[in-house]
Structure 1
């Protein structure tokens, strides 16, 4: 599976493309009624994203803008978004109402997820201290320096391979308001070199007192993640636990079920898995009887066997 469609909603608002330079801006929606997507691909091939944001600032009352989505900034597989970050930080005083920012709403036709060049995104959070929601797509070159942010409630990092340093940076950050954390850990082939030990600060929950939704997904080491989660202190305060999209087998599910009780959860999401029917049924019987919503949809989690008899299993989103 790859990402084939752009965000249609963000921060509870419908996404709206800011038109290119040849389009009329007379009938634009109210500034606070949509999540504005700004992409350089809507301009000439040589048009820089910074020119797009300049036109946006001239056409829209930015003091009322609540959510921004940064789309493709040109040849995203060749250069990262450092100039975009600089442009946003330079204009931050013009966005006093901004509460949500997504960096890299880029689909497969523009660039596969693991080929998107990223950079250190921490300056955006440091510069926009009122942000409540932040998302980023792409793991190549991605950095996240440990920081403190008192307003952030939602953090989403979508990758085909999440660097261990990013996992550690997030785990070492003080995020007292964070309620929703979604990390796509990915595979080593695409830079996902984290181990379960890197997740320990997150799983302890020490810096995440308000966390209610934890997603550690799209991982090749999903069995090890499930085993670590089984005894993680943070789990007792969760409402939703998401271990989907990865290579979860009977071993990981058994470790999860033999750990601390999960019957307090509102939802357990394990979709795209490699469980046997017997273990699927065990998960259902254990949790659905307690009122937990369990997602065990297999999606396209198919196994391949090579000529040597080796079984290959895949995460949902890799390249």
Structure 2
């Protein structure tokens, strides 16, 4: 699977801030009309310099959505100074509702090599934030530069998404221990153990119980090497009854997980079920497709992969390195 830069974020067209010596013809659009993306990758600017240029060029009080792209222009650097700088200026962004940390694609840096850090200060600095996407997390980077999260209380967050090739179990546990009463959408990409994806089903229990996030309507537990185990847990999870959509996509889902879903609680109340990138045999694909068709559930069973049923190691997740 190829990760791409989003064209739209939080309902706004994404615009990469032009560098100082390359202004847009006709000038910049209104600060609240686009989602602003900051990118140091191909510019002779440090993030600090680009940030000051941004604050001096765009009215921060009207910015509604912000994407942080590559924050280095030479060698990869820690994300910590970025978090510190953005958090320190959070009071200048009263209208900010959406934040994307590390809108970086493979040509710029592989997802598992993105040097992240503790992102909790940014969540705490923007109490009115409604959407947060975090990309990165993996094992090759130094310990102090790995993705971390502390349990938080945030009353405004409606959408939380972690895109990772190796999501640490402690981050999953912190999500489950957080108080997010407004959360409607949660998506977790677990990744591969080789890249630090060591989350277990037990780490997901607070989310699966339905007690953690009372307003949750979409749940994505995906891109996992233990997708069958997750599907088995989901089959009896109380949270499912209140969901409108469910994703168990991008991972190693096989017949065992699919059979558990068929034998478990009804999924016919869902509007959509995403199982793309799977390892199901044709009979199981047909049974799930028929069930969803009868119930009017939109199902995605694309990207079926052929594999050796005697060799579980031949299965792989969609996003790892």
The equivalences for 1:24-63 within 5 A come to 24=23, 27-44=27-44, 47-63=45-61
| Partner residue of 2:307 out of 280, 303, 309 | 303
Gaps of 5+ in 1: none
2:20 counterpart residue number: 21
Scaled by the length of structure 2, what TM-score is found? 0.94
SS at match of 1:289: helix
1:97 counterpart residue number: 95
Residues 202 and 208 of structure 1 are in contact (CA less than 8 Å); yes or no, is this contact kept in structure 2?
A: yes
| 1:230 and 2:235 correspond | yes
Distance 1:178 1:310 in 2: 35
The equivalences for 1:92-171 within 5 A come to 92-140=90-138, 141-171=146-176
Distance 2:23 2:85 in 1: 24
CA drift at 1:304: 6.8
Deviations 1:187-246 (A, max 9, x none): 101100011000001111212000000001111100000001011110000000000000
Distance 1:77 1:277 in 2: 47
> Judging changes above 3 Å, is the alpha-carbon distance between structure 1 residues 309 and 37 closer, same or farther for their aligned structure 2 residues?
closer
> Judging changes above 3 Å, is the alpha-carbon distance between structure 1 residues 30 and 184 closer, same or farther for their aligned structure 2 residues?
same
Distance 1:309 1:252 in 2: 16
Deviations 1:109-168 (A, max 9, x none): 111111111111111101100000001100131111100000000001000011000000
| 1:313 and 2:311 correspond | no
The equivalences for 1:168-187 within 5 A come to 168-187=173-192
SS at match of 1:7: coil
Scaled by the length of structure 1, what TM-score is found? 0.94
The aligned length equals 313
Distance 1:253 1:154 in 2: 27
CA drift at 1:303: 3.2
CA drift at 1:61: 1.1
Residues 41 and 74 of structure 2 are in contact (CA less than 8 Å); yes or no, is this contact kept in structure 1?
A: no
Q: Pairwise CA RMSD of aligned residues?
A: 1.7
Residues 222 and 252 of structure 1 are in contact (CA less than 8 Å); yes or no, is this contact kept in structure 2?
A: yes
Distance 2:291 2:316 in 1: 27
| 1:265 and 2:267 correspond | no
